[in-house]
Amino acid sequence: MNIGEPLTVCPQAVHKFGVGDPPSSNLEPNLGNNDMRLAHRYGWAAAGAVTLAMIAAPLPALAEDGDPTTGDLTVTRFDDRYADGLFDTTRTSPSGDVDRLNTDLAAQLVDVNGTRHYKSADADGLYRFTDVPVGAATLYLGHPNYPANEVFFDATGATSAADITRMATTEYYGAQGTLDVVIDADGEQRLIGMTALGVAAKVSSTDGAPVSGITSIEFGSGGEWFVGSEYAGLPGGYEAQAPGYRVIRHLPGDLGMRITAPAGYRVASVTAATGSAPISYPDIPMTVVERDGAYWVDSAAVPQYFFSAAFLVTLEEVPDTTRPTASLVSPTTEGPFRSLSVQVDATDEKGLKRIVANIYKGTTLVKSTQSAATGTSATHRATVSLPDGAYTVKYNSQDLAGNISQTGTFAVTVDGTAPTATVKDGSAYTVGGDGVYDLVSVKLYDAQKIDKVTINGTVKDLTNNAWSDVNFIKPGTFGAVKGENTLVVHDVAGNTRTLVFVLN
């Protein structure tokens, strides 16, 4: 439905996009004469003098009839077709609509005695209750739709939408806009507006996909906030649901939306649009103002007073500014190691890109290793062969956003050289020669320290030193036997040297 086409009752599916029924199935009564009379009464029709009385003032007090026990109530009921909360027939909505008296339905008043007064509009389009007992009374104005799909507001004395007050809808011979009044002998007047403004939101991610499951979205008007919920069958579409009725209808004035993005997301942009189906066809942009933690549009920009303002919210992921972690799982000691096996584990709450382990000798990078990483935790393993010496492992990780973890350092030593074993000279240590001995002693050396020896599998641990020895080997000592013996020298790194000899 486009603006300017005949108003028709929208199908339910369209309601879900925030487009209401026209507040009455008979929206076009010929009220021109009534408007003219009212305008004449207040002087609005003075040619060209539109600035003189843009806003309806309360009706003047009626003359007393001299009876202090009764009073009159005059009700002006209007459709706020230029949606500003005021009855002002000089303002034209974007679709060409203007405020108009509404005389379609009777008004009812229950007086202080519980007596029901039932009035149709007078010839001038006003509802006049006369000679009502003074005291508290309740005014009822019927909703044109059932279930009620409009909201009434008290605009008496209002000079802007900020002054109007939402009226409750109660059941009294049908759904009624309901207002407590106190009748006094001087006479009372009320100016009551009706509107069916909607406020909805469509929430999408930056790729355009609808975002479901938002629980903290609210829609506001008239100083009140209403919790929004997601439409069944329309993912990413939200509106405040009205218990017992269909959706919350909003007061004219500032129409608001506020949202708390889900964890890890933030609001990237908010625009707004209106039209016959603004969520699906955001054909008429609205100006959005951000204020007080909410987004606002002006209802006066809505072409029809039963249209909706739709906020189009785009959420984006909050950039990852948190560093990943990197921890060295291996090695856990300085070594020495025959070859260096490195394992670095990394984590990131958003996603890893790579893990790096670099080997430095002094300040010189001698070996760089890395693994591409995916997911929120990953492992990098590398085994590197290096010349003997002291090294530093430096390791870190990088996440997809480019954040780099703290760099860890760990000192290691590499030893790929086997120890030496030399038969000692001197008859006190060694008797025999050329691999055949009565008694033999060996001198051991390793730059990265001797650990132990085994003789025929029997372990003799040695204090870890560069220089060591095993003295006075003969059958019966350290596992040595008569005949062939195998002596294996181990350095700390695990390199070995084997010595085979015969004992007599």
Candidate list 70, 142, 415, 485; residue touching Ca ion; CB under 5 A: 415
Distance CA(224)–CA(149), nearest Å, equals 18
| C-alpha torsion 250→254→260→266, nearest 10 | 130
Q: How far is the CB of 101 from Ca ion (least distance, A)?
A: 12
Told to check if 399 binds Ca ion by CB under 5 A, we report: yes
Residues in contact with 415: Cβ distance below 8 Å, sequence separation at least 6, in sequence order: 335, 336, 337, 338, 388, 446, 447, 448, 491, 492, 493, 495
The residue (of 274 and 495) whose beta carbon lies closer to Ca ion is: 495
Binding residues for Ca ion, rule CB under 5 A, total 21
Could you tell me which residues are beta bridge partners of residue 394?
358, 409
The residue (of 84 and 104) whose beta carbon lies closer to Ca ion is: 84
Q: Which residue has the tokens 């997601």?
A: 230
| C-alpha torsion 479→480→482→483, nearest 10 | 110
Candidate list 176, 491, 499, 503; residue touching Ca ion; CB under 5 A: 491
Q: How far is the CB of 485 from Ca ion (least distance, A)?
A: 21
CB 499 within 8 A of CB 473: no
Q: How far is the CB of 339 from Ca ion (least distance, A)?
A: 13
Pick the piece of the chain touching Ca ion (CB under 5 A) from 33-41, 319-327, 352-360, 472-480: 319-327
Told to check if 420 binds Ca ion by CB under 5 A, we report: no
Distance CA(118)–CA(76), nearest Å, equals 15
Q: Are strands 168-171 and 175-183 parallel, antiparallel or unpaired?
A: antiparallel
CB 306 within 8 A of CB 10: no
The residue (of 92 and 456) whose beta carbon lies closer to Ca ion is: 92
Q: How far is the CB of 54 from Ca ion (least distance, A)?
A: 10
Q: How far is the CB of 459 from Ca ion (least distance, A)?
A: 10
Q: Which residue has the tokens 């780099």?
A: 404
Distance CA(189)–CA(155), nearest Å, equals 11
What token pair was written down for 191? 């100016």
Query: Coil, strand, or helix at residue 394?
Result: strand
Pick the piece of the chain touching Ca ion (CB under 5 A) from 30-38, 170-178, 234-242, 449-457: 449-457
The residue (of 350 and 394) whose beta carbon lies closer to Ca ion is: 350
The residue (of 9 and 318) whose beta carbon lies closer to Ca ion is: 318
Told to check if 446 binds Ca ion by CB under 5 A, we report: yes
Told to check if 496 binds Ca ion by CB under 5 A, we report: no
Site for Ca ion in 323-362 (CB under 5 A): 348, 350
Told to check if 417 binds Ca ion by CB under 5 A, we report: yes
Told to check if 35 binds Ca ion by CB under 5 A, we report: no
Distance CA(140)–CA(148), nearest Å, equals 13
Q: Count H helices, E strands: the chain?
A: 2, 34
Told to check if 298 binds Ca ion by CB under 5 A, we report: no
Q: How far is the CB of 399 from Ca ion (least distance, A)?
A: 4
Candidate list 33, 322, 409, 504; residue touching Ca ion; CB under 5 A: 322
Candidate list 464, 465, 477, 496; residue touching Ca ion; CB under 5 A: 464
Distance in Å from the first CA to the final CA of the chain: 114
The residue (of 258 and 452) whose beta carbon lies closer to Ca ion is: 452
Candidate list 235, 320, 330, 445; residue touching Ca ion; CB under 5 A: 320
Q: How far is the CB of 112 from Ca ion (least distance, A)?
A: 32
Q: How far is the CB of 453 from Ca ion (least distance, A)?
A: 10
Q: Is the peptide bond before 331 cis (omega within 30 degrees of 0)?
A: yes
CB 86 within 8 A of CB 160: yes
CB 442 within 8 A of CB 424: yes
Site for Ca ion in 55-84 (CB under 5 A): 80, 82, 84
Binding site for Ca ion (CB under 5 A): 80, 82, 84, 86, 99, 320, 322, 348, 350, 399, 403, 415, 417, 446, 448, 451-452, 461, 464, 491, 495
